[in-house]
């Protein structure tokens, strides 16, 4: 695990992917305090596509426009 300042991250943003491959985990600091932890994505399928997400969701019986309108009318 490597610790780098936010200034260094901004300056070397183009090489961030190489740093993650080399180090595995990078902690970003501001004024010496950690503010973020960067991890490489484990595989290409770690984040499902929009199509995969939509196909896994159940279909609504009522259209979303009617649900939104009903919620607004209740207010």
Confidence of residue 70 (pLDDT cuts 50, 70, 90): very high
Find out whether 25 and 39 touch, Cβ atoms under 8 Å: yes
Residue bearing tokens 């300042």? 5
The pTM score is 0.53
Tell me what pLDDT residue 43 has.
Answer: 60
pLDDT of residue 27 exceeding 80, the answer is: yes
């Amino acid at each position: 695990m490597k610790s780098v300042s936010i200034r260094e991250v901004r300056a070397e943003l183009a090489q961030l992917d190489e740093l993650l491959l080399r180090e595995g985990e990078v902690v970003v600091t501001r004024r010496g305090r950690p503010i973020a932890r960067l991890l490489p994505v484990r595989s290409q399928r770690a984040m499902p596509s929009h199509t995969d997400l939509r196909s896994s969701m159940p279909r609504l019986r009522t259209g979303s426009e009617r649900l939104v309108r009903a919620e607004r009318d209740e207010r």
